[in-house]
Chain A
Amino acid sequence: MLEQQLFNGLSLGATYALVAVGYTLVFGVLKVLNLAHGEMLTLGAFSAVVATSFLGPNLFLALFIGFAVTALVGALIIEPIAIRPVIHRNQLAPLMTTIGLSILLISLTAAIFGPSQTQFPQLMGMTSYEIGPILVTSAHILNIVVAGSMVLGLTLFLKLTSIGKAIRAVAENPDVAETLGINTRFVRTLTVAIASGLGGVAGVLISASVGAVTPYSGAAFGLKGLVAVIVGGMASPLGAVVAALGLGFVEVLSISYFQSASRHLIPLLLICVVLLWRPEGIFSSLGRKG
């Protein structure tokens, strides 16, 4: 029983981790909290609903469209319109503009798809395997494999590629990056595009597990990712991933040992305790070293 819950928690936490790295990536490079990030989950999921309704329920199509549409929104709307014009004016301004954008996106999706649930297509067969005491479903595998490889892929991209190193250079010192010939404005746009795209993929994964999507689901799951980021330490992607997995475990355990309504309450209580203990986040000192 406990093993099963821990495994469920890992699967849920993996999707939260994918949401969380989107926040830390943007915060690390632009020093801005992108509060429209949660809506990338919604947008990714609805894009997948639309694309699969035309082209058939294909998992890879759904993931690709979920990434591509939200990455474009990040590159063409979030960074150039909601962040770039206000980034140097006032620290709070990007918070306001990204909240405004998220309200706009929620209203738009509600206007197009209606405010209630839209069914999410069945993207793969419902198979399950028993491994010892654990029942592993295809949804578990999808979450863990896709979210895990995305987070790992992002890490390797930042570590090994020239563009990845340029992104890290801009995160540490944009002026120095410019003196090396790095177009910091392009790097900022690219960073928001990648982060948004990862959010879109997370939205597809979460909606595939739930089986439905509403215009408001992104806000709820985006908040979970944001909580993981704050607990893990704003500038520490590794901390955010660890905190996201922890959040997944706590949430699943509180559903199974208390009642399902407690899934939102108990994690938030724990977070208050963690923040009283370490207001800067558990892993904030790791962030410095990457």
Chain B
Amino acid sequence: MLQINDLTVKYGALVAVRELSLTVHEGEIVTLIGANGAGKSSTLNAIMGLVPAASGQMSWGGKDITRLRAYKRVQNGITLCPEGRGMLTSLTVQENLELGGFLHMRKSDNAARIKTMYERFPRLAERRTQLAGTLSGGEQQILAVARALLCRPRLLLLDEPSLGLAPMTAAEVMQTVKDIGAEGVGVLLVEQNVNHALRVADNAYVMESGAVVLQGPAADLLEDDRVRGAYLGGLN
């Protein structure tokens, strides 16, 4: 279980996240929604350890991770699929996937797991020797998710996985997110498509100006007038 208490993130004088508390259980999909600049990505980056927490505590499986370096959090089962997909564009698709399994490279089933990813996402198999930078946006997104899964996370932080994708591909990515949750992995999802996000998530937090202003079961927020007015305007 991921437990965040009163997390504050600052960039110089700018407060990006203000005393945020949230919980993600294993196998649970939690979504963070809010406008651009509300502090969603900063929250994910702080949980990953890429930006420092100015104050507050983060614990994972009962262990305090607030001061742990990012790669050690990965060793503990947390990984991030960064916004903008975070492709290593000068490496091939295959090399990106191999690095996804970097921590597990001595395990005999690592190659088999990469093969499983190719079976799950056949379009990656066709492109395995291409540089990741030559892939389309949707293919890069799928590669990013596949690579993150090869880290064998128990908590996956997903930053805008459907950003810029065609509706069909976005729906495919959302289905994958749902499958990942069903496999027992905790998912913390930041998504600009609030409708998509609330439909796959179990719980949701709404952020404004760095702080949580509303939280609850995703199904309830989907019916909430404030959420509908602010983020789902025009739907239904």
- B90 lies within 8 A of A168 (CB): yes
Number of A residues, CB within 8 Å of B: 21
Residues A176 and B71 in contact, CB atoms below 8 Å apart = no
B185 close to chain A: CB less than 8 A: no
Identify whether the interface residues of B are mostly helix, strand, loop, or mixed.
Answer: mixed
Interface residues of A in 162-191 (CB under 8 A from B): 162, 165-166, 168-169, 172-173, 175-185
Chain A residues with Cβ below 8 Å from B40 are none
Flag A176-215 by CB within 8 Å of B: 1 or 0 each.
1111111111000000000000000000000000000000
Contact between chains at A176 and B98 (CB < 8 Å): no
Give chain A nearest CB distance to B48 CB in angstroms: 6
CB closest residue in chain B, given A185: B69
Q: How far is the CB of A213 from chain B (nearest CB, A)?
A: 38
- For residue A288, CB closer than 8 A to chain B, the reply is yes
CB of B71 within 8 A of CB of A182, answer yes
CB-nearest residue of chain B relative to A175?
Answer: B50
- Contact in complex: B90, A179 (CB < 8 Å): no
In the complex, A175→B89 CA distance in Å?
14
Residue of A178, A179, A290 with most chain B CB atoms under a 10 A cut-off: A179
A88 within 8 A of partner (CB) = no
Q: B232 interface residue, CB < 8 Å from A?
A: no
A89 within 8 Å of B by Cβ?
Answer: no
A182 to B50, CA, bound (A): 13
Q: What chain A residues lie within 8 Å of B71 (beta carbons)?
A: 178, 181-184
Q: Which residue of A lies closest to B75 (CB)?
A: A181
A179 contacts B91, CB within 8 Å? no
- From B86, B88, B103, name the one whose CB has the most chain A CB atoms within 10 angstroms: B88
B102 touches A (CB below 8 Å): yes
| Residues of chain B with a CB closer than 8 A to A182's CB | 71, 99, 102
**Contacts A162-B105, A165-B99 known; A178 to B75 CB distance under 8 Å?**
no
Contacts of B99 in A (CB 8 A): 165-166, 169, 177, 180, 182
A175, A184, A288: residue with the most chain B Cβ atoms closer than 10 Å: A175
Interface pair B82/A180, CB less than 8 Å apart: no
Q: Is B80 located at the chain interface by the 8 A CB criterion?
A: yes
Chain A CB within 8 A of B161 CB: no
**Residue B70 at the chain A interface, CB threshold 8 Å:** yes
> Looking across the interface, which residue of chain B has its beta carbon closest to that of A162?
B105
User: Please, how many angstroms separate the alpha-carbon atoms of A169 and B91 in the complex?
Assistant: 8
Q: Nearest-CB distance from B125 to chain A (Å)? A: 19
Residues of chain B with a CB closer than 8 A to A181's CB: 71, 74-75, 79, 102-103, 151
Q: Compute how far the CA of A182 lies from the CA of B87 in the bound complex, rounded to whole angstroms.
A: 15
Measured in the bound complex, the distance between the Cα atoms of B72 and A185 in whole Å is 12
Give the residue of B49, B70, B88, B151 whose beta carbon is less than 8 angstroms from that of A169: B88
A residues at B contact (CB < 8 Å):
162, 165-166, 168-169, 172-173, 175-185, 288-290
Listed by A's residue number, 23 A-B pairs whose Cβ atoms lie within 8 Å are A162-B102, A165-B95, A165-B102, A168-B88, A168-B91, A169-B99, A173-B88, A175-B50, A176-B86, A176-B87, A176-B88, A178-B48, A178-B49, A179-B48, A179-B50, A179-B148, A180-B99, A180-B147, A181-B74, A182-B99, A288-B90, A289-B131, A290-B90
